[in-house]
Chains A and B, each alone.
Chain A
Protein backbone atom coordinates (compact mmCIF):
# COMPACT_ATOMS: atom_id res chain seq x y z
CA UNK A 1 0.00 0.00 0.00
CA UNK A 2 2.73 2.47 1.03
CA UNK A 3 4.81 1.38 -1.89
CA UNK A 4 1.93 2.10 -4.20
CA UNK A 5 1.44 5.60 -2.79
CA UNK A 6 5.13 6.38 -3.22
CA UNK A 7 4.87 5.32 -6.82
CA UNK A 8 1.97 7.67 -7.40
CA UNK A 9 3.82 10.55 -5.77
CA UNK A 10 6.86 9.79 -7.87
CA UNK A 11 4.81 9.89 -11.07
CA UNK A 12 3.26 13.19 -10.08
CA UNK A 13 6.69 14.69 -9.50
CA UNK A 14 7.85 13.46 -12.88
CA UNK A 15 4.81 15.04 -14.50
CA UNK A 16 5.58 18.36 -12.81
CA UNK A 17 9.14 18.23 -14.06
CA UNK A 18 7.94 17.53 -17.58
CA UNK A 19 5.59 20.49 -17.32
CA UNK A 20 8.52 22.71 -16.45
CA UNK A 21 10.44 21.71 -19.53
CA UNK A 22 7.46 22.06 -21.94
CA UNK A 23 5.30 24.78 -20.50
CA UNK A 24 1.71 25.21 -21.52
CA UNK A 25 0.95 28.36 -23.48
CA UNK A 26 -1.98 29.60 -21.46
CA UNK A 27 -5.59 30.06 -22.36
CA UNK A 28 -5.16 32.17 -25.49
CA UNK A 29 -6.33 30.44 -28.69
CA UNK A 30 -3.70 28.87 -30.85
CA UNK A 31 -4.87 30.60 -33.96
CA UNK A 32 -1.81 31.04 -36.06
CA UNK A 33 1.67 29.86 -36.68
CA UNK A 34 1.01 26.23 -37.50
CA UNK A 35 1.46 26.60 -41.22
CA UNK A 36 1.15 22.88 -41.82
CA UNK A 37 -0.02 23.02 -45.43
CA UNK A 38 2.13 21.62 -48.21
CA UNK A 39 2.86 24.04 -51.03
CA UNK A 40 1.58 22.51 -54.25
CA UNK A 41 2.78 22.92 -57.81
CA UNK A 42 0.86 24.38 -60.74
CA UNK A 43 0.98 20.98 -62.42
CA UNK A 44 -0.73 19.33 -59.45
CA UNK A 45 -3.43 22.00 -59.38
CA UNK A 46 -4.17 21.65 -63.09
CA UNK A 47 -5.77 18.22 -62.74
CA UNK A 48 -8.10 19.42 -59.98
CA UNK A 49 -9.02 22.86 -61.26
CA UNK A 50 -12.13 22.05 -63.30
CA UNK A 51 -14.33 25.07 -62.55
CA UNK A 52 -15.06 27.39 -65.47
CA UNK A 53 -16.28 30.95 -64.86
CA UNK A 54 -18.26 32.92 -67.46
CA UNK A 55 -15.04 34.38 -68.89
CA UNK A 56 -14.11 30.89 -70.06
CA UNK A 57 -10.78 31.02 -68.20
CA UNK A 58 -9.52 27.51 -67.77
CA UNK A 59 -11.46 25.98 -70.65
CA UNK A 60 -9.39 23.08 -71.99
CA UNK A 61 -8.19 22.39 -75.56
CA UNK A 62 -10.48 20.40 -77.80
CA UNK A 63 -13.63 21.18 -79.75
CA UNK A 64 -16.93 19.69 -80.78
CA UNK A 65 -19.56 20.29 -83.47
CA UNK A 66 -23.34 20.16 -83.24
CA UNK A 67 -23.35 17.00 -85.32
CA UNK A 68 -20.78 15.29 -83.12
CA UNK A 69 -22.82 16.38 -80.12
CA UNK A 70 -25.95 14.76 -81.47
CA UNK A 71 -24.16 11.41 -81.43
CA UNK A 72 -22.84 11.92 -77.90
CA UNK A 73 -26.31 12.97 -76.77
CA UNK A 74 -27.99 9.91 -78.27
CA UNK A 75 -25.51 7.61 -76.57
CA UNK A 76 -25.14 9.25 -73.16
CA UNK A 77 -27.97 11.71 -72.47
CA UNK A 78 -31.16 10.85 -74.30
CA UNK A 79 -32.23 8.01 -71.99
CA UNK A 80 -32.89 10.56 -69.24
CA UNK A 81 -33.38 13.87 -71.05
CA UNK A 82 -35.47 12.60 -73.97
CA UNK A 83 -35.23 13.02 -77.72
CA UNK A 84 -34.14 16.52 -78.76
CA UNK A 85 -33.69 17.52 -75.11
CA UNK A 86 -37.45 17.66 -74.63
CA UNK A 87 -37.21 15.96 -71.25
CA UNK A 88 -38.73 12.82 -69.81
CA UNK A 89 -38.19 10.92 -67.88
CA UNK A 90 -36.00 13.66 -66.36
CA UNK A 91 -35.32 17.36 -66.86
CA UNK A 92 -36.00 19.09 -70.16
CA UNK A 93 -32.98 20.91 -71.62
CA UNK A 94 -34.78 22.72 -74.42
CA UNK A 95 -37.67 25.17 -74.71
CA UNK A 96 -39.44 27.51 -72.36
CA UNK A 97 -38.10 30.78 -73.75
CA UNK A 98 -40.55 33.56 -72.96
CA UNK A 99 -42.32 31.65 -70.20
CA UNK A 100 -40.45 32.86 -67.10
CA UNK A 101 -42.95 35.56 -66.14
CA UNK A 102 -45.94 33.32 -66.82
CA UNK A 103 -47.90 31.22 -64.38
CA UNK A 104 -46.20 28.10 -65.67
CA UNK A 105 -42.55 28.97 -66.29
CA UNK A 106 -40.35 26.36 -67.94
CA UNK A 107 -36.71 26.64 -66.95
CA UNK A 108 -34.22 24.97 -69.30
CA UNK A 109 -30.71 25.62 -70.55
CA UNK A 110 -32.25 27.72 -73.31
CA UNK A 111 -34.78 29.69 -71.28
CA UNK A 112 -32.98 30.14 -67.98
CA UNK A 113 -29.22 29.50 -67.84
CA UNK A 114 -27.25 32.76 -68.03
CA UNK A 115 -23.89 31.40 -69.25
CA UNK A 116 -22.91 28.71 -71.74
CA UNK A 117 -19.70 28.12 -69.80
CA UNK A 118 -21.80 26.71 -66.94
CA UNK A 119 -23.12 24.05 -69.31
CA UNK A 120 -19.61 22.87 -70.10
CA UNK A 121 -18.55 23.01 -66.44
CA UNK A 122 -21.56 21.06 -65.22
CA UNK A 123 -21.66 18.39 -67.91
CA UNK A 124 -17.95 17.73 -67.51
CA UNK A 125 -18.08 17.35 -63.74
CA UNK A 126 -21.45 15.73 -63.14
CA UNK A 127 -22.89 14.08 -66.26
CA UNK A 128 -23.93 11.45 -67.02
CA UNK A 129 -24.91 10.65 -63.44
CA UNK A 130 -23.97 6.98 -63.78
CA UNK A 131 -20.50 7.81 -65.09
CA UNK A 132 -19.56 11.41 -64.24
CA UNK A 133 -16.30 12.74 -65.70
CA UNK A 134 -16.28 9.98 -68.33
CA UNK A 135 -16.75 12.27 -71.35
CA UNK A 136 -13.70 13.67 -73.10
CA UNK A 137 -13.36 17.44 -73.23
CA UNK A 138 -14.22 17.39 -76.94
CA UNK A 139 -17.32 15.32 -76.22
CA UNK A 140 -18.38 17.90 -73.62
CA UNK A 141 -17.85 20.72 -76.15
CA UNK A 142 -19.84 18.75 -78.71
CA UNK A 143 -22.80 17.93 -76.52
CA UNK A 144 -22.85 21.53 -75.27
CA UNK A 145 -23.00 22.65 -78.90
CA UNK A 146 -25.87 20.26 -79.59
CA UNK A 147 -27.96 21.43 -76.63
CA UNK A 148 -27.32 25.10 -77.48
CA UNK A 149 -28.30 24.48 -81.11
CA UNK A 150 -31.50 22.66 -80.08
CA UNK A 151 -32.40 25.83 -78.21
CA UNK A 152 -31.81 27.93 -81.29
CA UNK A 153 -28.92 29.80 -79.65
CA UNK A 154 -26.16 28.77 -82.09
CA UNK A 155 -26.39 27.68 -85.75
CA UNK A 156 -26.34 24.12 -87.04
CA UNK A 157 -22.74 24.44 -88.26
CA UNK A 158 -21.32 25.88 -85.02
CA UNK A 159 -18.26 24.42 -83.32
CA UNK A 160 -17.68 24.95 -79.62
CA UNK A 161 -14.21 25.31 -78.16
CA UNK A 162 -12.35 27.43 -75.60
CA UNK A 163 -12.69 30.51 -77.83
CA UNK A 164 -16.26 30.19 -79.11
CA UNK A 165 -18.12 28.90 -76.04
CA UNK A 166 -17.62 32.01 -73.85
CA UNK A 167 -18.84 34.16 -76.77
CA UNK A 168 -22.27 32.52 -76.78
CA UNK A 169 -24.93 35.00 -75.62
CA UNK A 170 -27.58 33.20 -73.62
CA UNK A 171 -31.17 34.48 -73.96
CA UNK A 172 -31.65 34.92 -70.19
CA UNK A 173 -28.23 36.43 -69.47
CA UNK A 174 -29.81 39.55 -67.99
CA UNK A 175 -32.52 37.67 -66.15
CA UNK A 176 -30.74 37.51 -62.79
CA UNK A 177 -30.51 40.06 -60.02
CA UNK A 178 -27.40 39.81 -57.85
CA UNK A 179 -28.40 39.70 -54.19
CA UNK A 180 -24.93 38.93 -52.84
CA UNK A 181 -24.55 42.45 -51.48
CA UNK A 182 -28.07 42.71 -50.08
Chain B
Protein backbone atom coordinates (compact mmCIF):
# COMPACT_ATOMS: atom_id res chain seq x y z
CA UNK B 1 0.00 0.00 0.00
CA UNK B 2 2.90 2.32 0.47
CA UNK B 3 5.47 3.31 -1.99
CA UNK B 4 8.60 2.60 0.00
CA UNK B 5 10.67 4.98 -2.00
CA UNK B 6 8.78 8.08 -1.05
CA UNK B 7 7.89 9.76 2.15
CA UNK B 8 4.63 11.58 2.14
CA UNK B 9 5.29 13.98 4.93
CA UNK B 10 2.92 16.05 6.99
CA UNK B 11 0.72 18.52 5.30
CA UNK B 12 1.13 22.17 5.91
CA UNK B 13 -1.32 23.88 8.14
CA UNK B 14 -3.56 25.37 5.49
CA UNK B 15 -7.15 24.84 6.62
CA UNK B 16 -8.31 23.02 3.54
CA UNK B 17 -5.58 20.41 3.70
CA UNK B 18 -5.29 19.80 7.42
CA UNK B 19 -7.66 16.87 7.59
CA UNK B 20 -6.28 14.93 4.68
CA UNK B 21 -4.56 11.62 5.17
CA UNK B 22 -1.13 10.76 3.87
CA UNK B 23 0.20 8.60 1.13
CA UNK B 24 -1.40 7.67 -2.13
CA UNK B 25 -4.79 8.93 -1.00
CA UNK B 26 -3.31 12.28 -0.32
CA UNK B 27 -1.80 12.22 -3.73
CA UNK B 28 -5.16 11.59 -5.35
CA UNK B 29 -6.83 14.21 -3.22
CA UNK B 30 -4.19 16.62 -4.19
CA UNK B 31 -4.62 15.91 -7.85
CA UNK B 32 -8.33 16.50 -7.56
CA UNK B 33 -7.76 19.77 -5.79
CA UNK B 34 -5.23 20.75 -8.39
CA UNK B 35 -7.95 20.49 -10.97
CA UNK B 36 -10.46 22.25 -8.77
CA UNK B 37 -8.24 25.17 -7.91
CA UNK B 38 -7.55 26.22 -11.39
CA UNK B 39 -4.16 27.61 -11.98
CA UNK B 40 -3.16 26.94 -8.49
CA UNK B 41 -1.22 23.78 -8.33
CA UNK B 42 -1.85 22.90 -11.83
CA UNK B 43 1.21 22.39 -13.24
CA UNK B 44 4.02 22.28 -15.07
CA UNK B 45 5.62 20.33 -17.44
CA UNK B 46 8.91 19.66 -17.65
CA UNK B 47 10.09 21.19 -20.59
CA UNK B 48 11.19 18.77 -22.98
CA UNK B 49 13.00 19.65 -26.10
CA UNK B 50 10.96 21.20 -28.86
CA UNK B 51 9.68 18.64 -31.25
CA UNK B 52 9.53 15.84 -28.74
CA UNK B 53 5.81 15.55 -29.12
CA UNK B 54 6.06 15.51 -32.86
CA UNK B 55 8.61 12.73 -32.71
CA UNK B 56 6.51 10.78 -30.26
CA UNK B 57 3.70 10.87 -32.80
CA UNK B 58 5.88 9.39 -35.52
CA UNK B 59 5.25 5.78 -36.47
CA UNK B 60 7.68 3.19 -35.20
CA UNK B 61 9.25 2.90 -38.63
CA UNK B 62 9.46 0.03 -41.01
CA UNK B 63 13.20 -0.42 -40.60
CA UNK B 64 15.33 -1.04 -37.55
CA UNK B 65 17.62 1.94 -36.73
CA UNK B 66 21.27 1.78 -37.77
CA UNK B 67 22.46 1.09 -34.21
CA UNK B 68 20.62 -2.22 -34.38
CA UNK B 69 22.09 -3.29 -37.70
CA UNK B 70 25.75 -2.37 -37.23
CA UNK B 71 28.38 -3.24 -34.61
CA UNK B 72 28.44 -1.08 -31.53
CA UNK B 73 31.44 0.77 -30.13
CA UNK B 74 34.11 -1.11 -28.20
CA UNK B 75 34.85 -0.82 -24.51
CA UNK B 76 36.69 2.26 -23.29
CA UNK B 77 38.84 2.87 -20.27
CA UNK B 78 36.94 5.84 -18.87
CA UNK B 79 33.31 6.38 -19.76
CA UNK B 80 31.69 9.57 -20.95
CA UNK B 81 28.04 10.61 -21.35
CA UNK B 82 26.22 10.06 -24.62
CA UNK B 83 27.09 12.67 -27.23
CA UNK B 84 23.40 13.53 -27.23
CA UNK B 85 23.80 14.80 -23.65
CA UNK B 86 26.46 17.30 -24.69
CA UNK B 87 24.25 20.29 -23.75
CA UNK B 88 24.24 19.11 -20.13
CA UNK B 89 27.20 21.02 -18.77
CA UNK B 90 28.24 23.61 -16.26
CA UNK B 91 27.60 27.30 -16.93
CA UNK B 92 30.95 29.06 -16.55
CA UNK B 93 31.30 32.56 -15.09
CA UNK B 94 34.73 34.22 -15.25
CA UNK B 95 34.50 37.04 -12.76
CA UNK B 96 37.46 38.97 -14.14
CA UNK B 97 37.60 37.74 -17.72
CA UNK B 98 41.04 37.32 -19.22
CA UNK B 99 42.73 39.34 -16.48
CA UNK B 100 42.32 36.39 -14.08
CA UNK B 101 40.86 33.54 -16.12
CA UNK B 102 40.84 31.09 -13.22
CA UNK B 103 38.90 33.36 -10.86
CA UNK B 104 35.21 32.55 -10.98
CA UNK B 105 32.76 29.73 -10.83
CA UNK B 106 30.93 27.13 -12.85
CA UNK B 107 27.38 26.12 -12.02
CA UNK B 108 25.88 22.64 -11.76
CA UNK B 109 23.04 22.33 -14.35
CA UNK B 110 20.42 21.50 -11.72
CA UNK B 111 17.64 21.71 -14.30
CA UNK B 112 19.09 18.75 -16.22
CA UNK B 113 19.69 16.41 -13.28
CA UNK B 114 17.37 14.22 -11.23
CA UNK B 115 18.24 12.27 -8.11
CA UNK B 116 20.49 13.76 -5.46
CA UNK B 117 24.10 12.86 -6.31
CA UNK B 118 25.93 15.25 -8.61
CA UNK B 119 28.10 13.62 -11.29
CA UNK B 120 31.74 14.47 -10.60
CA UNK B 121 32.20 16.30 -13.88
CA UNK B 122 29.20 18.52 -13.10
CA UNK B 123 30.01 19.42 -9.48
CA UNK B 124 30.11 23.20 -9.20
CA UNK B 125 33.47 24.94 -9.14
CA UNK B 126 34.62 28.08 -7.39
CA UNK B 127 38.25 29.01 -7.75
CA UNK B 128 40.00 32.15 -6.60
CA UNK B 129 42.86 31.85 -9.06
CA UNK B 130 42.48 28.67 -11.05
CA UNK B 131 42.96 24.96 -10.59
CA UNK B 132 46.48 23.89 -9.57
CA UNK B 133 48.09 20.93 -11.32
CA UNK B 134 49.29 19.14 -8.19
CA UNK B 135 51.61 16.15 -8.36
CA UNK B 136 50.39 13.96 -5.48
CA UNK B 137 53.87 12.52 -5.02
CA UNK B 138 55.09 16.00 -4.06
CA UNK B 139 52.09 17.22 -2.10
CA UNK B 140 52.37 17.51 1.69
CA UNK B 141 49.95 18.32 4.49
CA UNK B 142 51.47 20.26 7.41
CA UNK B 143 49.78 20.44 10.82
CA UNK B 144 51.42 22.95 13.14
CA UNK B 145 50.85 25.90 15.43
CA UNK B 146 49.48 25.22 18.91
CA UNK B 147 50.29 21.50 18.88
CA UNK B 148 52.68 19.38 20.88
CA UNK B 149 54.21 17.82 17.80
CA UNK B 150 54.05 19.50 14.36
CA UNK B 151 53.53 16.82 11.74
CA UNK B 152 53.80 16.46 7.97
CA UNK B 153 51.98 13.83 5.96
CA UNK B 154 52.37 12.84 2.35
CA UNK B 155 49.44 11.57 0.33
CA UNK B 156 50.53 7.94 0.32
CA UNK B 157 50.75 8.01 4.11
CA UNK B 158 47.28 9.48 4.50
CA UNK B 159 45.91 6.76 2.22
CA UNK B 160 46.89 4.21 4.87
CA UNK B 161 44.54 5.70 7.46
CA UNK B 162 41.14 4.12 8.01
CA UNK B 163 38.47 6.03 6.18
CA UNK B 164 34.81 6.89 6.46
CA UNK B 165 32.26 7.94 3.86
CA UNK B 166 29.71 10.73 4.14
CA UNK B 167 27.16 11.99 1.67
CA UNK B 168 26.65 15.73 1.93
CA UNK B 169 26.14 18.83 -0.13
CA UNK B 170 28.63 21.60 -0.62
CA UNK B 171 27.17 25.02 -1.32
CA UNK B 172 29.03 28.24 -2.07
CA UNK B 173 27.76 30.90 0.31
CA UNK B 174 27.34 33.11 -2.77
CA UNK B 175 24.99 30.60 -4.37
CA UNK B 176 21.85 32.26 -5.74
CA UNK B 177 23.63 35.63 -5.62
CA UNK B 178 22.23 36.45 -9.05
CA UNK B 179 18.77 36.57 -7.49
CA UNK B 180 19.93 39.37 -5.20
CA UNK B 181 20.47 41.62 -8.21
CA UNK B 182 17.84 44.32 -8.83
CA UNK B 183 16.30 42.59 -11.85
CA UNK B 184 15.43 38.91 -12.26
CA UNK B 185 17.67 37.23 -14.83
CA UNK B 186 16.08 34.98 -17.40
CA UNK B 187 18.56 32.12 -17.07
CA UNK B 188 18.22 28.41 -16.25
CA UNK B 189 17.86 27.14 -12.70
CA UNK B 190 21.45 25.96 -12.54
CA UNK B 191 22.84 29.33 -13.55
CA UNK B 192 20.99 30.84 -10.57
CA UNK B 193 21.25 28.14 -7.92
CA UNK B 194 23.86 25.71 -9.25
CA UNK B 195 26.61 26.55 -6.76
CA UNK B 196 25.37 23.59 -4.76
CA UNK B 197 26.23 19.97 -5.46
CA UNK B 198 26.13 16.71 -3.53
CA UNK B 199 28.55 13.80 -3.39
CA UNK B 200 29.58 10.84 -1.33
CA UNK B 201 32.92 11.92 0.10
CA UNK B 202 35.45 9.49 1.55
CA UNK B 203 38.43 10.33 3.68
CA UNK B 204 39.70 10.43 7.24
CA UNK B 205 38.41 12.44 10.17
CA UNK B 206 40.58 15.50 10.74
CA UNK B 207 40.30 14.74 14.46
CA UNK B 208 42.49 11.65 14.01
CA UNK B 209 45.43 13.72 12.77
CA UNK B 210 44.85 16.51 15.28
CA UNK B 211 44.96 13.97 18.08
CA UNK B 212 48.25 12.62 16.76
CA UNK B 213 49.72 16.13 16.68
CA UNK B 214 48.39 16.80 20.20
CA UNK B 215 46.30 19.96 20.33
CA UNK B 216 47.39 22.46 22.99
CA UNK B 217 44.81 23.64 25.52
CA UNK B 218 45.04 27.19 24.16
CA UNK B 219 44.05 26.21 20.63
CA UNK B 220 40.50 27.27 19.79
CA UNK B 221 40.62 27.72 16.02
CA UNK B 222 42.60 26.51 13.07
CA UNK B 223 43.62 28.06 9.81
CA UNK B 224 43.18 25.85 6.75
CA UNK B 225 45.11 26.79 3.62
CA UNK B 226 45.10 25.48 0.05
CA UNK B 227 48.07 24.89 -2.26
CA UNK B 228 46.52 26.82 -5.12
CA UNK B 229 47.81 30.02 -6.67
CA UNK B 230 45.49 32.09 -4.46
CA UNK B 231 46.60 30.04 -1.43
CA UNK B 232 43.03 30.54 -0.21
CA UNK B 233 42.70 30.26 3.56
CA UNK B 234 39.89 30.22 6.10
CA UNK B 235 39.66 30.10 9.90
CA UNK B 236 37.62 27.25 11.38
CA UNK B 237 36.60 26.74 15.01
CA UNK B 238 38.36 23.75 16.56
CA UNK B 239 34.98 22.41 17.73
CA UNK B 240 33.89 21.85 14.11
CA UNK B 241 37.24 20.28 13.22
CA UNK B 242 36.81 17.78 16.04
CA UNK B 243 33.16 17.15 15.23
CA UNK B 244 32.42 15.99 11.68
CA UNK B 245 35.21 17.46 9.55
CA UNK B 246 36.89 15.13 7.08
CA UNK B 247 40.00 15.28 4.96
CA UNK B 248 38.35 14.01 1.78
CA UNK B 249 40.40 12.06 -0.75
CA UNK B 250 37.60 10.45 -2.77
CA UNK B 251 34.45 11.81 -4.36
CA UNK B 252 31.72 9.39 -5.42
CA UNK B 253 34.21 6.57 -5.21
CA UNK B 254 37.03 7.99 -7.30
CA UNK B 255 39.88 10.28 -6.33
CA UNK B 256 38.95 13.93 -6.19
CA UNK B 257 38.86 15.81 -9.45
CA UNK B 258 41.51 18.56 -9.70
CA UNK B 259 38.78 21.20 -9.58
CA UNK B 260 37.50 19.67 -6.34
CA UNK B 261 40.84 19.84 -4.55
CA UNK B 262 42.94 16.93 -5.75
CA UNK B 263 44.64 15.33 -3.96
CA UNK B 264 42.76 16.36 -0.80
CA UNK B 265 40.25 18.87 0.52
CA UNK B 266 38.53 19.68 3.75
CA UNK B 267 34.92 18.68 4.12
CA UNK B 268 32.84 20.61 6.67
CA UNK B 269 29.31 19.27 6.31
CA UNK B 270 26.71 22.03 6.20
CA UNK B 271 29.16 24.95 6.26
CA UNK B 272 30.06 27.58 3.67
CA UNK B 273 31.59 26.10 0.55
CA UNK B 274 34.88 27.92 0.61
CA UNK B 275 35.66 26.69 4.12
CA UNK B 276 35.87 23.23 2.55
CA UNK B 277 39.40 24.21 1.56
CA UNK B 278 40.57 22.53 -1.62
CA UNK B 279 44.15 21.41 -2.34
CA UNK B 280 44.57 21.39 1.44
CA UNK B 281 48.24 21.66 2.40
CA UNK B 282 48.42 23.41 5.76
CA UNK B 283 46.51 23.47 9.02
CA UNK B 284 47.67 25.82 11.76
CA UNK B 285 46.16 25.58 15.23
CA UNK B 286 45.60 29.06 16.63
CA UNK B 287 44.03 30.79 19.63
CA UNK B 288 41.63 32.80 17.46
CA UNK B 289 40.57 33.45 13.89
CA UNK B 290 43.22 34.82 11.52
CA UNK B 291 40.82 37.25 9.78
CA UNK B 292 41.95 36.29 6.30
CA UNK B 293 40.80 38.22 3.25
CA UNK B 294 38.18 35.56 2.50
CA UNK B 295 36.55 35.96 5.90
CA UNK B 296 36.68 39.76 6.12
CA UNK B 297 36.62 41.48 2.73
CA UNK B 298 34.65 38.57 1.25
CA UNK B 299 32.25 35.99 2.66
CA UNK B 300 30.92 38.44 5.24
CA UNK B 301 27.28 39.46 5.10
CA UNK B 302 26.53 43.18 4.93
CA UNK B 303 23.29 44.07 6.68
CA UNK B 304 20.87 46.96 6.20
CA UNK B 305 22.42 48.89 9.10
CA UNK B 306 25.90 48.82 7.55
CA UNK B 307 27.27 46.24 9.98
CA UNK B 308 28.53 42.94 8.60
CA UNK B 309 28.00 39.50 10.05
CA UNK B 310 31.27 37.60 10.14
CA UNK B 311 31.79 33.83 10.48
CA UNK B 312 28.25 32.93 9.43
CA UNK B 313 29.34 29.39 8.75
CA UNK B 314 26.16 27.34 8.65
CA UNK B 315 24.15 27.35 5.43
CA UNK B 316 20.46 28.07 5.80
CA UNK B 317 17.50 25.89 4.90
CA UNK B 318 16.66 26.22 1.23
CA UNK B 319 14.91 24.61 -1.72
CA UNK B 320 14.30 25.15 -5.41
CA UNK B 321 12.06 23.53 -8.00
CA UNK B 322 14.37 22.21 -10.69
CA UNK B 323 11.73 20.78 -13.05
CA UNK B 324 9.98 22.70 -14.43
CA UNK B 325 12.14 25.80 -14.17
CA UNK B 326 13.29 28.90 -15.99
CA UNK B 327 13.85 28.60 -19.70
CA UNK B 328 11.86 25.39 -20.06
CA UNK B 329 8.56 25.20 -21.94
CA UNK B 330 5.40 23.36 -20.94
CA UNK B 331 4.03 20.84 -23.39
CA UNK B 332 0.44 21.98 -22.93
CA UNK B 333 -2.09 21.57 -20.14
CA UNK B 334 -2.14 18.28 -18.29
CA UNK B 335 -0.44 16.28 -15.61
CA UNK B 336 3.20 16.90 -14.80
CA UNK B 337 5.56 16.05 -11.98
CA UNK B 338 7.16 18.93 -10.11
CA UNK B 339 10.59 18.03 -8.79
CA UNK B 340 13.25 19.88 -6.90
CA UNK B 341 16.01 19.89 -4.31
CA UNK B 342 16.02 20.94 -0.67
CA UNK B 343 18.86 21.14 1.83
CA UNK B 344 19.94 22.60 5.15
CA UNK B 345 23.27 23.09 6.84
CA UNK B 346 21.56 22.44 10.17
CA UNK B 347 20.60 18.82 9.47
CA UNK B 348 17.78 16.96 7.77
CA UNK B 349 15.06 18.47 5.63
CA UNK B 350 11.74 17.53 7.23
CA UNK B 351 9.26 19.22 4.95
CA UNK B 352 9.03 20.84 1.56
CA UNK B 353 5.89 22.74 0.62
CA UNK B 354 4.99 23.73 -2.90
CA UNK B 355 2.76 26.56 -4.06
CA UNK B 356 1.46 27.35 -7.53
CA UNK B 357 -0.11 30.66 -6.53
CA UNK B 358 2.90 32.59 -5.28
CA UNK B 359 2.58 31.37 -1.72
CA UNK B 360 -1.14 31.96 -1.13
CA UNK B 361 -1.66 28.21 -0.59
CA UNK B 362 0.84 25.45 0.04
CA UNK B 363 0.88 21.68 -0.32
CA UNK B 364 3.44 19.24 1.08
CA UNK B 365 5.64 17.52 -1.43
CA UNK B 366 6.88 13.95 -1.13
CA UNK B 367 10.48 13.54 -0.02
CA UNK B 368 12.63 10.85 -1.60
CA UNK B 369 14.10 8.49 0.99
CA UNK B 370 16.63 8.28 2.44
CA UNK B 371 16.65 11.85 3.72
CA UNK B 372 20.21 12.42 4.88
CA UNK B 373 21.50 15.14 7.18
CA UNK B 374 23.22 18.04 5.40
CA UNK B 375 22.58 16.39 2.07
CA UNK B 376 20.51 17.23 -0.98
CA UNK B 377 16.96 15.92 -0.65
CA UNK B 378 14.78 15.34 -3.71
CA UNK B 379 11.13 16.34 -3.49
CA UNK B 380 8.36 15.62 -5.94
CA UNK B 381 4.72 16.50 -6.43
CA UNK B 382 2.17 15.79 -9.13
CA UNK B 383 0.73 18.87 -10.75
CA UNK B 384 -2.15 19.28 -13.13
CA UNK B 385 -1.47 22.41 -15.13
CA UNK B 386 -4.65 23.96 -16.46
CA UNK B 387 -2.92 26.19 -18.95
CA UNK B 388 -3.25 29.48 -17.08
CA UNK B 389 -0.44 31.45 -15.46
CA UNK B 390 0.97 29.88 -12.30
CA UNK B 391 3.62 31.10 -9.87
CA UNK B 392 5.57 28.09 -8.63
CA UNK B 393 7.39 28.23 -5.32
CA UNK B 394 8.90 25.76 -2.86
CA UNK B 395 9.58 26.28 0.83
CA UNK B 396 11.72 23.93 2.95
CA UNK B 397 11.75 23.27 6.69
CA UNK B 398 14.57 21.48 8.52
CA UNK B 399 14.75 19.35 11.65
CA UNK B 400 15.68 22.37 13.78
CA UNK B 401 12.42 24.04 12.76
CA UNK B 402 14.09 26.56 10.46
CA UNK B 403 11.82 27.60 7.60
CA UNK B 404 13.05 28.98 4.29
CA UNK B 405 12.56 32.73 4.09
CA UNK B 406 10.46 34.75 1.69
CA UNK B 407 12.08 37.28 -0.62
CA UNK B 408 10.54 40.10 1.40
CA UNK B 409 11.84 38.83 4.75
CA UNK B 410 15.33 38.13 3.45
CA UNK B 411 15.59 41.45 1.63
CA UNK B 412 14.49 43.40 4.69
CA UNK B 413 17.45 42.03 6.63
CA UNK B 414 20.39 42.31 4.26
CA UNK B 415 22.01 45.21 2.46
CA UNK B 416 21.01 45.39 -1.21
CA UNK B 417 24.69 44.80 -1.96
CA UNK B 418 24.94 41.57 0.02
CA UNK B 419 25.39 38.52 -2.17
CA UNK B 420 25.90 35.83 0.49
CA UNK B 421 23.57 33.35 2.16
CA UNK B 422 20.66 34.00 -0.14
CA UNK B 423 18.10 31.45 1.06
CA UNK B 424 15.01 33.20 -0.20
CA UNK B 425 12.17 31.37 -1.93
CA UNK B 426 12.48 31.07 -5.71
CA UNK B 427 9.51 31.89 -7.92
CA UNK B 428 9.08 30.47 -11.42
CA UNK B 429 6.31 32.08 -13.47
CA UNK B 430 4.65 29.53 -15.72
CA UNK B 431 2.93 31.61 -18.37
CA UNK B 432 -0.18 30.72 -20.35
CA UNK B 433 1.95 30.20 -23.45
CA UNK B 434 3.94 27.57 -21.57
CA UNK B 435 7.09 29.63 -21.17
CA UNK B 436 8.73 29.66 -17.74
CA UNK B 437 10.59 32.62 -16.30
CA UNK B 438 12.52 33.55 -13.19
CA UNK B 439 10.52 36.28 -11.41
CA UNK B 440 10.75 38.14 -8.12
CA UNK B 441 7.64 37.66 -6.02
Contact = CB atoms under 8 A, between A and B. Distances in A.
Interface of A: 29-32, 34-40, 44-45, 48-54, 79-80, 89-90, 100-105, 107, 109, 112-115, 117-118, 121-122, 125-126, 129-130, 132-133, 175-180
Nearest to B211: A32
Nearest to A124: B231
B434 to A, nearest CB: 37
A121 to B, nearest CB: 7
A89 B103 CA distance: 14
Interface of B: 96-97, 99-100, 103, 128-129, 142-144, 149-153, 157, 160-162, 164, 205, 208-209, 211-213, 223, 225, 229-233, 237, 281-282, 284, 286, 288-293, 296-297, 300, 302, 304-313, 415-417
A127 to B, nearest CB: 9
A113 B297 contact: yes
A179 B229 contact: no
A177 B307 contact: yes
Contacts of B281: 48
A44 B143 CA distance: 12
Given A37-B151, A37-B212, A40-B144, A107 B302 contact: yes
Nearest to B208: A31
B237 A180 contact: yes
Given A45-B142, A129-B100, A37 B157 contact: yes
A180 B212 CA distance: 26
Contacts, number: 161
Contacts of B153: 36-38
B307 A50 contact: no
Given A37-B153, A37-B157, A180-B313, A100 B306 contact: yes
Contact of A90 (B99, B292, B308): B99
Nearest to A99: B306
B209 A37 contact: yes
A144 B138 CA distance: 33
A56 B311 CA distance: 21
Nearest to B221: A180
A49 B213 CA distance: 17
Closest 10 CB pairs of A and B: A101-B306, A37-B151, A100-B306, A180-B311, A122-B293, A30-B162, A125-B231, A176-B310, A129-B100, A179-B312
A118 B296 contact: yes
A49 B311 contact: no
B308 A176 contact: yes
